[in-house]
Structure formats: structure tokens, C-alpha cells
Amino acid sequence: NAGVTQTPKFRILKIGQSMTLQCTQDMNHNYMYWYRQDPGMGLKLIYYSVGAGITDKGEVPNGYNVSRSTTEDFPLRLELAAPSQTSVYFCASSLAGGPDYEQFFGPGTRLTVL
Amino acid sequence: SQELEQSPQSLIVQEGKNLTINCTSSKTLYGLYWYKQKYGEGLIFLMMLQKGGEEKSHEKITAKLDEKKQQSSLHITASQPSHAGIYLCGAMNTGFQKLVFGTGTRLLVSP
């Protein structure tokens, strides 16, 4: 199993540009998550999904959109990039929700908005 | 909302020394997770604790969840350069939808 994979690994955007961060998991996990990690800070949840077709907002959803058309994929869309979105983005998945289930993380995407 | 505070924020220890990292929650913990992040990389799962008083070990790393379930400690015995990285504690929020993370502890191990 590849686990959780993310593409691209690095990206530089200009203000106002759009892009999609890709996330795929091959563990047949129901739950998937997008986090962002700012320098010196912990991770904050952007969006999460409890299954195909179901998504919900996390702590910091503004400026982002997600979709979950399949169990495997959970892309994150930035429509109008802003410098405040410069961060490292992590995708994660878990078999189910709750404290019994470990979240598996992807390697991250480093995004810089200039 | 639940907050996790980690201490210390950063730590430099000499190789072979023991160290402890603490994670204190503002609310009761329902599942406490420890992750390690190497600089510039993703998160690696270390351990998960669920019950008050629970203690788990993996190689030279031991994690405990206190009886009152509002604090966890991560102890590394005889530290090695390979232990260097950022240690993050995470806890399930009360709705069990997401992990709330602490701000991390940066560990450097000097030879």
C-alpha cells in the first residue's frame, strides 16, 4: 500500500491564481482530512469528509473548497490564492472517526503564495 | 474549544540523555495521539493512548496518559540523533470528528 499520497510536493502561486491539491489513499478509509500547518504552529483542520459525497468544514475553511466523489480521492481547491494561504498542507485518512482510529498522514504540499 | 499546550517548545539534549515532553489539555482527553514530524516531512504516528493511566512503549519511547486524562507525557530514554524532529500531540475533539493538535516540541539531539 502506498498509504496517503499528495501532489504536488511544492508549488508557488501568484496572488489570485487557483490550484488543486491532490490527495489519494489506497487503504479504503472512510474518513479523510485536510490540515494546514503554519510555521511554529500546530496543524489546523480545514475540511474533512466522513465518506464519499459527504464533506464538512473544519476550523479554517475560508478560501478553500473540497469534494469527495470517490472513497480514494479528496482534492482541496484554492480559488483565489492569497499570501495568508502560504503554508504546508497535509492530507490524512482514517478508517473511521473517533479516538480508536489512527490518522495516517501524507507527506505534505508546501505552498507559497507571492 | 479544546486546546493543547506542549512543553517545552524546543529542546536540545546531548546524545544518550533522557528527556520528557508534556502535553496538557484544556479539556478531558478522549484519545491522545503522539506524532513525530521530521523537518520538512509528513507526520509519523508514534502511539495512541485512550485510557487514563495507560502507558505504551515503542523502542526507547514511552508515552503515558495521566489518570485524570488531561495530560500526557512522552519520554525518550538514551536519546539518539534519529530522535530529532518535531513531536506533536493530538487529541480528538468532543465530537470525535477531528484531531486538535498542540504546537509541537522541536527536539535536537547533539552528538
- pLDDT tens digits, A28-37: 999 999 999 9
Residues of B within 8 A of A95 (CB-CB) are none
In DSSP terms, B87 is beta-bridged to B36, B105
CATH code assigned at A92: 2.60.40.10
Q: Which domain holds residue A35?
A: 4-113
Query: Which residue of chain B is at minimal alpha-carbon distance from A50?
Result: B97
Query: Which residue of chain A is at minimal alpha-carbon distance from B41?
Result: A107
What's the confidence (pLDDT) of residue A52? 93
Q: How confident is the model at residue A97 (pLDDT cuts 50, 70, 90)?
A: confident
What's the confidence (pLDDT) of residue B96? 63
CA A48 to chain centre: 8
Task: With CB atoms and an 8 Å threshold, state whether A108 touches B90.
Answer: no
Q: How far is A10 from chain B (nearest CA, A)?
A: 11
Task: Name the stretches of chain B with pLDDT < 70.
Answer: 93-97
User: For chain A, what is the domain count?
Assistant: 1
In this model, does residue A111 exceed pLDDT 80?
yes
Query: Which residue of chain A is at minimal alpha-carbon distance from B51?
Result: A99
- CB-CB: which of A56, A100, A103 is closest to B99? A103
What's the confidence (pLDDT) of residue B69? 72
In a domain, B104, yes or no: no
Q: Which three cell numbers stand for residue A35?
A: 490540515
Burial class (CB in 10 A: 0-12, 13-18, 19+), B98: buried
In a domain, B90, yes or no: yes
Average pLDDT of chain A, as a whole number: 93
What's the confidence (pLDDT) of residue B58? 86
Task: With CB atoms and an 8 Å threshold, state whether A43 touches B97.
Answer: no
Q: Which domain holds residue B9?
A: 4-97
What's the confidence (pLDDT) of residue B95? 67
What's the confidence (pLDDT) of residue B94? 65
Task: With CB atoms and an 8 Å threshold, state whether B99 touches A43.
Answer: yes
What integer is the mean pLDDT of A60-88? 96
In a domain, B55, yes or no: yes
CATH code assigned at B90: 2.60.40.10
Q: How far is A58 from chain B (nearest CA, A)?
A: 8
User: For chain B, what is the domain count?
Assistant: 1
What's the confidence (pLDDT) of residue B23? 95
